[in-house]
């Protein structure tokens, strides 16, 4: 179903995931400061990413995102099943998901599966939630999500997002075109946002 703006529209699923996602798939994810836009501040333990008040004087290396305010997780993978949780603090815009290793680091890259990004976001204003499909899919929540679990099955090319508080599926990508590449946890941090990784 599409709305008047041409977005695909889905209601949140009531699928209960607690018993279907084994804890053994959880991996300890940290942010990779070498990929972080110069506006993003990474904590000493690399578990928290925050929007900074100004850009830091860091080298604009090939790995670093610019001008997009994005950051990757430290370690990628290209097999098996992985999951991790992201805690969202404060009320700025954000996005969480995964990206191919080859995702463009420079220029105004689109938020799109065509660019090798599978993610959900609070985007273009508070309480406007989307999944980065083609076209974007609008998502609806009764309550702002504060803790999200990301689950990836590399072999079956699936990426799924869960709302920890409501124990329900937020969105599910199937047939993700990983193209045999490593994929990495991927994040967008914007004004007022703080993201913390678990475990």
Taking only the tens place, the pLDDT of each residue in 41-54 is 999 999 999 999 89
Taking only the tens place, the pLDDT of each residue in 90-118 is 878 999 999 999 999 999 999 999 999 99
- 132 and 120 in contact (C-beta within 8 Å)? yes
In this structure, what are the phi and psi dihedrals at residue 151, rounded to the nearest 5 degrees? -125, 130
If you search the block for the tokens 């990004």, which residue do you land on? 117
What is the CATH code for 38-198?
Answer: 2.60.120.920
| Confidence grade of residue 68 (pLDDT, cut at 50, 70, 90) | very high
Least confident of 23-37, 144-158, 162-176: 23-37
Is the pLDDT assigned to residue 145 strictly greater than 70?
yes
Q: Give the rounded distance of the alpha carbon of 164 from its chain centre.
A: 15
Is the pLDDT assigned to residue 193 strictly greater than 60?
yes
SS in 3 state form for 117-156?
EEEEEECCCCCCEEECCCCCEEECCCCCCCEEEEEEECCC
Question: Model-level pTM greater than 0.85?
Answer: yes
Share of the chain above pLDDT 70, in %: 86
- 140 or 172: which leads in pLDDT: 172
Is the pLDDT assigned to residue 88 strictly greater than 90?
yes
If you search the block for the tokens 């678990």, which residue do you land on? 198
- 94 and 189 in contact (C-beta within 8 Å)? yes
- 76 and 183 in contact (C-beta within 8 Å)? yes
- 182 and 30 in contact (C-beta within 8 Å)? no
Question: What average pLDDT does range 143-168 have in this prediction?
Answer: 94
* Distance (Å, whole) CA 147 – CA 176: 23
Q: Where are the domains of the chain?
A: 38-198
Given this model, what pLDDT does residue 6 score? 45
| Confidence grade of residue 35 (pLDDT, cut at 50, 70, 90) | very high
- Is 183 in a helix, a strand, or coil? strand
Who's near 20: CB < 8 A, 6+ residues apart?
Answer: none
């Amino acid at each position: 179903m599409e709305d008047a703006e041409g977005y695909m529209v889905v209601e949140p699923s009531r699928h209960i995931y607690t018993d279907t996602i084994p804890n053994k798939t959880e991996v300890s994810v940290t942010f990779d400061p070498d990929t972080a836009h110069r506006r993003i501040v990474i904590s000493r333990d690399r578990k928290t990413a925050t929007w900074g008040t100004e850009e830091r004087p860091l080298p604009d290396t090939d790995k670093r995102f610019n001008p997009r305010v994005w950051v990757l997780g430290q370690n990628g993978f290209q097999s098996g099943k992985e999951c991790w949780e992201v805690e969202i603090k404060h009320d700025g815009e954000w996005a969480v998901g995964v990206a191919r290793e080859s995702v463009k680091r420079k220029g105004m890259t689109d938020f799109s599966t065509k660019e090798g990004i599978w993610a959900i976001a609070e985007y273009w204003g508070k309480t406007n939630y989307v999944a980065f499909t083609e076209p974007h899919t609008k998502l609806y929540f009764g309550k702002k999500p504060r803790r999200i679990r990301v689950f990836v099955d590399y072999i079956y090319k699936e990426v799924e997002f869960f709302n920890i508080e409501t124990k329900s599926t937020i969105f599910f990508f199937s047939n993700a075109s990983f193209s045999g590449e490593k994929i990495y946890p991927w994040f967008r941090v914007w004004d007022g946002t703080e993201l913390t990784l678990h475990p």
